[in-house]
Structures are given as C-alpha cells and as structure tokens.
Structure 1
C-alpha cells in the first residue's frame, strides 16, 4: 500500500506582539505533529528562535527559500524578511501589523500556487494591518477576493457548526445587506461544504431570524417576513433541508442546535457569541466555499497575556487538525465525484 504523503500546512504568524507565535511553537513542539503533517511557517527563524527561548520551548527550525523546498519531519520556516523587528508584547504597532500581512500574503500566494496544501492563520489585529496595499477587514475578505469561490465564515467544533450570512458588517447595515440573492448564495455554500468537507450527504441546516422573535409578524421588523421566509421556502422547494427562521435568543439555550448539521446566523455576534460560549478554546474558524482550505483558531491576539507564556494552544492545534481533515475529505469527495459507483443491472 502506498504511503500517503504528508500534508503541507502553511502557517502565517499573525501579530508578533500577540500570542500567535507562542501557540504555533507550543503546537509543533510535540513531535507527533510532524508525523501528521509538514509545517511551513512564513516568518523569521531569528524571531522564532528568540521566542522559543523566551517560552522555554524545545523546537528546531529548518530555513527554506520557499514552501516547495520544505522537508518532511522538520519545522520549516520561509524567511520573508531579513530586517530586524522589534517585539513589543501587548502593543498593536505598525511594524507588527506590516509583518503580519507580509506573512499572510506570502502564505496565501503559496496556497494559491499549490506549494502548500492548507493554510492556518494566527490572529491579526484588524486595525494595525491596514495600509494602502491592504484595506480588507480581515483574513476572510482578502481570501475571498484572492482565491476562487464564494467565501463563508464557518465556525466549527466537535458538536457545532455556525456560519454567517453577514460577517464583518456594521450592525446598522445588516438588514440592508441581507438580500434573497445573498441568502441563496450562503445556503448553497454551507450546503456544499457540509457535503464535500464534512461528508454529510443530506445536510440539515437551521437559519436564525434577523430581528428579535423573528420580527413578531412585522411588529419588530419586516425583513424576516418579506425577505428571509420567502427565500427559505424557495430553497426548500429545491430539495434542500433548510429550516427556520428560528428566534435566536432561545435557539441555543433550548439545545435545538443539536438537531442540525449547521446553523446559519444573520450576523457576526448572533452566531459567534453562542459559538464561543459553547466551544471557546476548542473552536476553529474555517473559510468555507473557496477552492483552497484555510482555518484559524477561534481567538484573537490576546494582547493581555502576550509574552507571559500563558496562551492555550488547543484552538490552534484544532485548527491544524480540522484543516487536515477537511483537505482529506475534499480530496475523497472529488475522487468519488470523478469515479462514481456504477449502478449494477438488476437480475431477473
């Protein structure tokens, strides 16, 4: 039997003044991770060597000129700069923001070119990464423009999957942003990703209402009655198991979410507050709908504990595991799609 080649996991380092490099190092100091995959960190061997000493982490780095030259069984580092960088833990500096985006852009380029198989991104600060060259609210928006497909933020844990109709949109703009076209597109994306990335042949999807109490028949708002409900009815007629809209305030408290393969929330906090309450530290942010696989941990830069060797790396490790599982599931799905089992003729 041919031995399966290790998956190359590209990693962007995030904000150096946050906990990104700490959780990366803590994840890969476990040598068993190198048996599972081949990490390729887009960063700096000097910075990583400095930080591993600071955190008393046992890890050896192998500098490579590109991801193509990465060696299995080693922690590979693509040096994206030779310039010295000042680390100021807990501070959102312009220098750290610039380096975070350089790392992310280079890693995304490698992902697009296929020299890495999946991308796992450490947290950035959305403010200090802004520049004339990078004007995106975050990772997801840049990936959506750079890669093929329609991106959807999908939060994933062992027991819960929550997608978003709108992600980084101001609350005052949410209602106007939710159109029948957007609803259909996002439902189709989450439906397909449940099939090809999670192996669920007939997914059941719950959709949360836009307004409190799903608008109370127009007393609180008309968007649920006039936009969301008719669109969901149309989707149901196409044969998809889509249910709702459900009142968001009681949906998770009643454990109703356990009856579905995924939940589609109307906006960011409506979906992420219950997700992080139920899964924080074990959750993963997956950018569904694209032709490449990207995951990240469910936390931010955590400036308040940066540099103190207190960061929990479990969510980052889960992001690596989830990315690998999705990559393998998608590969199998494509293989089966190309070579479906032929229907055998009936015997009379």
Structure 2
C-alpha cells in the first residue's frame, strides 16, 4: 500500500513492489550553445502515478532555435484530468482525446528529436523522471542524456529573490508576465530565461568562475528561536495563522529558512519535527518527486500515522504552498 498526495489530502493506492531505480544522465552546470530544451505537462506531480499529457521541445544550435516539437499525449490508461490542471494549462480531456497521440508514439517522436543531445530545462529533473519511467516501461531503454537545470543557475545568479519559478524569472528579466503552462510555450519562455542568465554570467564573473563557485554549500543549522517577525497584525483567515507547520524534503523554489519565515510572518509557527501540535506537513517538491514512494521520511510516516488516528493534519506539497501564498498576495 502506498500513499499519493492529492490537492485534497492523502489517498491510499495499491501498487506493486517493483520500483524503478533511475540511472539518469549527469546533472551538470554549463552554458552550451547546442542542446535540446524540453518541457512536459502532466496530470500531476508524481511520475509513479501521473501521466504525460503534452510534450514540447526546442532544438538549439549556435544559440538559435532550429527546430521544434509539440504534441498532445493521450495516456494509455484511463486518466483523471482535474479541473485544477485544466484551469492551469487550458488542456481539456476533449483536446487530449481528439488531438493526442498515444504515449509510446509521442515518446518515440521525442527520442528521435532529442537523439544524444544535452538536455536543458527548468526544474528539468521533474520532466526527466516522467520521460525516464515511460521510456523504460514502453521501450525497455534508459533515457540517460546528461542535463542542465536552468533553475539551479537562476538561484545562484539571483539569491535575493524569494522564489525562482519560471514566472518569477520572467518578471526579474522583464521578458514576460505569466507562465503559459503549455509545453512548447514554456520551452520558448525558458529559452529566453536561459539566454538572459547566460548573458549576465558572461558579462559578470564569466562562465568558468560561475561554474567553479556553484558548488553546494553546507545547509544552515536553523534555530527556530531566531525566526521572528516584525508584524503585529495578521490576516486571521489565512490557513497558516496560529498553525504549526513542519517541513520535510528539499525545497526547489526557496531555502527552508525563507519558507519558515513566510510561515512566521503569517502568524504561524514553523517546526523542525512533526508533533501532535502539527497542522501542516509541507513536502518539498524534490521529496515528492524522488522519495515519496520509498517512504524514507520519518516525518512523513509520523504525519500519516497521526492523520489515521484522527489528528487534523494536512499534507501539502511545495507547489500547493506557493499557490496558497500567491492567492494571499
């Protein structure tokens, strides 16, 4: 028995004990002028449970787009396209059923398009996990191209920003106002972001120095007693007011200290561990994508246990957390 986090809570799902150990390519930091940029749209966040519904890709040579690929994908199994995904992307079940091609044909097109290129994308591990699992299941092959995550360089280049989502970087570089959430359009926006980052690095410290300094730094030992707020009035209707919020897994869009500060500024209490006081457990996207099925987090297990015992604890993902914050702003 496994558990899937949904927008409304945690859903128990039966699944075989067979787990995919991904042998992906290497994640590297560089600024090449030849690559394939990819983006996908899916029915949800977890490659173990959700399906690809659209694929987009750009072939880039000499820093110029020379070819593109775009297709809707009709999942092989019955799929549940939530109102949330339709509102986000504009993709409807009718569009998929009328214009989508089967997953195997779509991935065959993508593999022919990509060949052995270096892959680039925004938070691209998410896309690669879906592609890897489906290629392995459908073709018995491993999608092992090396890849570059644009978001990693954005976080290094603009550490002063609270978030580093696509829409944040579009605003930062003044190249757009909103993310389209359609695969090919997102590819085009992400390519613009990549070029802005590359230009700033070249005109700043230079590529070699940037790569050299982009090493991981030890995580800060966060002391909850040091997280305070200057705010004296709070919106008592916000869901985190007077709520205890624990965290597990790495965050993609901000460092944990900043997320804890957000909770404090909303009148809530950030926690290091899940306790009987906990109202929310926030799962970082990295945890959701790579560790949820393995059940490695003791905090996650404890939250599930408390929930089954009747404690009103909600388990939400980083993306849902950010959506809530956006709505309040």
- TM-score, normalization by structure 1: 0.28
Higher Rg of the two aligned structures: 1
